[in-house]
Structure 1
């Protein structure tokens, strides 16, 4: 089953991290990705730009609304993800617990719904 590990962290705190520390953290994330690859569970990963560069689009009838980010006033923002293919949620949770991002934020684990589940 495929799972998305969504990485949430405080963008403001992240901007205050010294470059040498950030480089070390990114090295930890690369090592984590290599562990996922070695285990044969890695599918993909990407980092997202800051929420200040995001927008929210809504349509109500014929009206299109575009709101520039950041949209939500929350402490942690969605900043990147890993998609993995594992046996079950317990295994996904174990991989999430190994993610370095869990030490400076949170890792949300969600199963990716298969097309066959909603095309019945």
Structure 2
């Protein structure tokens, strides 16, 4: 099963984070990523740029989508990075999430990533047949 671990932090967590030398943060995250890699569960991981830098929203409420620059409304709407891991169970994903070196005020939202098998009843639709072919061409699933 694939899971996405979404890193979130409160304003207080961000302030606390800014008090820690960045080299220390990089080393802790690097060690965590290395442990995920050595265990063979890491599929992807990325940090995201500050919410005030080169970011935008696309709002689909109107007839034509509207693109607007940030800032975003609420801190709890932001996330600052993610991992995608492949584990044998929800429990294993939870164990990896618990090991993440985040501090007080930070959370990891853990969401299962859908797989083609989740859409088995629609497997013969053109969209899913095309997607399966695209994934095969790109070495995915």
Secondary structure (helix, strand or coil) at the match of 2:43 reads: strand
Q: 2:19 aligns with which of 12, 17, 20?
A: 17
Residues 104 and 32 of structure 1: is their aligned pair in 2 closer, same or farther, counting only changes over 3 Å? Answer: farther
Q: TM-score, normalised by structure 2?
A: 0.72
**What's the RMSD between the two structures over aligned residues?**
2.2
Q: Residues 1-120 of structure 1: matches in 2 within 5 Å?
A: 1-10=1-10, 12-13=14-15, 16-18=18-20, 21-53=21-53, 54-59=55-60, 60-61=62-63, 63-75=64-76, 77-101=78-102, 103=104, 105-118=106-119, 120=122
Q: Which has the larger radius of gyration?
A: 2
Structure 1: stretches of 5+ with no match in the other structure = none
Structure 2: stretches of 5+ with no match in the other structure = 123-141
C-alpha distance in 2 between matches for 1:79 and 1:55: 14
C-alpha distance in 2 between matches for 1:101 and 1:117: 32
C-alpha distance in 1 between matches for 2:7 and 2:17: 16
Q: Contact conserved, 2:32 with 2:101, CA < 8 A, in 1?
A: yes
